[in-house]
Amino acid sequence: MRIFWLLLAVLLTFNIQAEWYSGSGTAVIFDDNRQLARRQAAKQALREVLLQADVSLAALELFRQQDLAEELFTLHSSVPVSQIIIQEEHERDGQLSITLKADVWPQVNLCDDRSIAKALVLTPFSLSAGATQVALGNNELNKEITSRFHTAIQRSPADFLVKAISSEPLFAPEQFQHSTAQHQLRYMAESAQAQFIVAGRLRNLAFGRQAAGLLKKERWVRQFALEVSVLDGASGRLIQTKQYQTRVQWPFAITTEVNPASDQLWRADFGLEVQRLVYEAVDDIANALSCVRVKAQVIRVAGSNITISVGARQGIKPGDTFSLLHSDSFTDSWGNSYAVTAENDSQLEVVRVYPDHAETRAVKSHYLAPVQVRDQVQLDSVRERQYAN
């Protein structure tokens, strides 16, 4: 076991107190590439640090990783992490593990003055036609991977607030652009009062043979390919689709019935790689949505008090301001539907906050446009503002 004390400092100008957090990560060593395994294990450890500190996973994009000498690994860090100390690194059975601790400034955020979580609807992963026919037990494995993905989303409250989890998988990505699909997506989001919908499917769980060598016996390998999509709930439009894939030795005989939730599976190379890709998909969603302005709906109008569908669980506080959005839609001559939103001069300030909703009133009442239930609002800033009469 080797102990490394690598201290990397960044100049900081914040008069706030940092805290130390520890994290560990493990990665598979492929083709004796220990440097790649170090990078992956260190990223896993940093990820755990950010989760403990309640910092957005999008902060992982700020870290530049650089290889030094053969037995050294370092990370160049930036806000919100100012110092990183790599404490342990060890290798066992083709896996490399790193434990580190980091000095974190949780109050520092990437886009605004503080973190505002994005409201999501999650759907179970589907199995593509090819994946369902490869081997028995794939349906149960798919359920376990879906569960781990949803857990990874829910473990990052700085990034996400899960408003609903659908019991049925979403339709295939090829159908996202159909007008009927977009209507369904908008209905799902509106029913759950969520801003985004996350869906995915397993595209490949195929087995293959690794040929025997002079000193090696024949082994089975298994492929894994995951596709994850993020959609805008207000319009039903696709924001991004990304694919994640790997190919790892299967630790069991081809005829062995495996419990998809067993520690034996998830501590093996296959399980570690699948979990790494699940985390990578979650991190990519956090990065894609980190600086997207929060939108919500008007859910009640009572005189001058306007209630909106966003609250304390997402990080909203009294003094936050929202702009009222004008919504419109039209259908072209080919039958394609389009949704249009535009910001106007009407601003609402949060005066009282509840877990999942907030009461607001107009910053300038004489500028307030007519407001109706289901109108959309968009977060202006998390900075507190004073009334202007």
CB neighbour list of residue 129: distance below 8 Å, 6 or more residues apart: none
pLDDT at residue 321 tops 80: yes
**Of 260, 228, 263, 360, which Cα lies nearest the Cα of 306?**
360
**Of 124, 149, 137, which Cα lies nearest the Cα of 201?**
124
**pLDDT tens sequence across 91-110:** 999 999 999 998 888 766 67
CB neighbour list of residue 14: distance below 8 Å, 6 or more residues apart: 105, 107, 108
CA 80 to chain CA centroid, Å, is 18
Q: What average pLDDT score do residues 365-384 get?
A: 77
pLDDT at residue 113 tops 80: no
First-to-final CA distance of the chain: 67
**pLDDT tens sequence across 288-299:** 999 899 999 999
* Higher per-residue pLDDT: 335 or 362: 362
pLDDT of residue 326: 75
List, as one string, the DSSP characters of 295-363: EEEEEEEETTEEEES--GGGT--TT-EEEEEEEEEEE-TTS-EEEEEEEEEEEEEEEEE-SS-EEEEES
CA distance 204 to 260: 16
Specify the amino acid at residue 16. Answer: I
Q: Please, which residues bridge with residue 305 across strands?
A: 302
> What Rg do the C-alpha atoms of the chain give, in angstroms?
24
pLDDT of residue 43: 93
Q: What average pLDDT score do residues 320-329 get?
A: 82
Q: What average pLDDT score do residues 39-67 get?
A: 87
Q: Please state the domain extents for the chain.
A: 2-104, 118-289, 295-381
Residue 56 Cα distances to 77, 233, 279, 306, angstroms: 15, 22, 13, 30
**Of 257, 228, 248, which Cα lies nearest the Cα of 141?**
257
* Higher per-residue pLDDT: 283 or 364: 283
Tell me the two tokens of residue 102: 């980091």
Tell me the two tokens of residue 149: 């993905």
Strands 196-204 and 118-122, by their bridges, are: parallel
CA 59 to chain CA centroid, Å, is 12
Specify the amino acid at residue 267. Answer: R
Tell me the two tokens of residue 292: 């997207």
For residues 346 and 325, is the Cβ–Cβ distance under 8 A? Answer: no
CB neighbour list of residue 122: distance below 8 Å, 6 or more residues apart: 150, 153, 162, 164, 165, 166, 198
118-289: CATH homologous superfamily? ABC-type transport auxiliary lipoprotein component (3.40.50.10610)
CA distance 366 to 377: 18
**pLDDT tens sequence across 121-158:** 999 999 887 665 555 578 899 999 999 999 999 999 99
Tell me the two tokens of residue 287: 């990065």
Average per-residue pLDDT in the chain?
84
**Residue 223: other Cβ atoms inside 10 A:** 17
HSE-up (13 A, CA, CB side) for residue 325:
22
CA distance 292 to 298: 19
Give the fold, CATH level 3, of 2-104. Answer: Dodecin subunit-like (3.30.1660)
HSE-up (13 A, CA, CB side) for residue 45:
28
pLDDT of residue 385: 39
pLDDT of residue 6: 32
pLDDT at residue 232 tops 50: yes
CA distance 81 to 9: 9
CA 166 to chain CA centroid, Å, is 17
| Domain spanning 295-381, CATH class | mainly beta
**pLDDT tens sequence across 166-206:** 999 998 888 888 888 889 999 999 999 999 999 999 999 98
For residues 117 and 107, is the Cβ–Cβ distance under 8 A? Answer: no
